[in-house]
Amino acid sequence: MEFLKYQHVERFGTDEVDGIEFGKCYVFPKIDGTNGQIWADGESIRFGSRNRELCLENDNQGFMISIIRNEMFRHFFNKFPDTRLYGEWLVPHSLKTYKKTAWRKFYVFDVMVNDKYIKYDTYKRWLDDYEIEYIPCIATVENGNIETFNKILEKNNYLIEDGKGTGEGIVIKNYEYVNKYGRTTWAKIVTSEFKEKHVKAMGAPEIKGTYENEDRFINDFCTETFIKKEYAKLSVDGWNSKMIPKLLGVIFNQLITENIWQAIKEYKYPVLDFSRILKLCNQKVKVTLKEIF
């Protein structure tokens, strides 16, 4: 097997996950670390981050070396050689309220065999036998709706220190679901802390009329948390001012890629001035991360 990038988890209510709530859904906490994967090639165990295969000379914040030192993974892959483990390596990003004992651990959130997802009830037993950490299912829901999922979201404090609020959000999986494009896709709902709906640091733009949709797009999707998460990803191996152009480009690219379809639907197929969105995005980044500008 070779490196296989993990799928994008879509916002609940978008076209990509339309109808996922019908049937039996498993709801999981969403944690804020860095994505990792582990698989075997018949001779050795291999490792990946979100976008690349890892090696000891180019690890991802100690993820690979930590797993190599844990013999339970070697025993696991001896038993399940065709298995791929996806998970979160919990190191500091945007959310800093996790328990001290939670950090620098790998939490499996999906398991594949021959590139097909295995149901939670099955892989839970496998991982338990080898004492491998995984993100637990916190609820199952039959034919749910946004109100049902929001109630679960509000009670999600998995790995969070007592009295420090809730986690990043939840992920909804329906193992029988295939979207209209023929893909198995999961949905996510993030907490209100991760979905600021109003510009805070820079204030809401006062321009109206022609640019109303562009301003709304920035307010809805270019949140402080979104900006800080992208900055954290880019600066994981260090930061210098020469990286600012790349940071601005990456944030704008991710902002459009991840949110444009939802905006098109919510705003009823608007006309958008992407030049203005770029300027507003750069302005929001500079205010949010003013310490690096």
Place of tokens 């050689």: 81
Tokens of residue 46, six digits: 């291999």
106 in Cβ contact with 168 (< 8 Å): no
Dihedral sign computed on CA atoms, order 75, 26, 113, 110: negative
β 106-113/139-142 pair status? unpaired
CATH 3.30.470.30 fits 10-193, yes or no: yes
d(CA 34, CA 90): 6
214 in Cβ contact with 284 (< 8 Å): no
Number of residues that make up the chain: 293
What pLDDT does 266 receive? Answer: 87
Mean pLDDT by runs of 10 across the 293 residues of the chain is: 93 91 94 95 92 93 94 96 97 87 96 95 98 97 91 94 89 94 94 48 40 85 92 89 94 94 88 90 90 89
User: C-alpha angle with apex 22: 16 to 26, nearest 5 degrees?
Assistant: 85
Instruction: Name the residue ranges covered by the structural domains of the chain.
Output: 10-193, 196-292
Dump pLDDT digits (tens) for 90-143.
998 778 889 999 999 999 999 999 889 999 999 999 999 999 999 999 999 998
Query: What pTM does this model have?
Result: 0.72
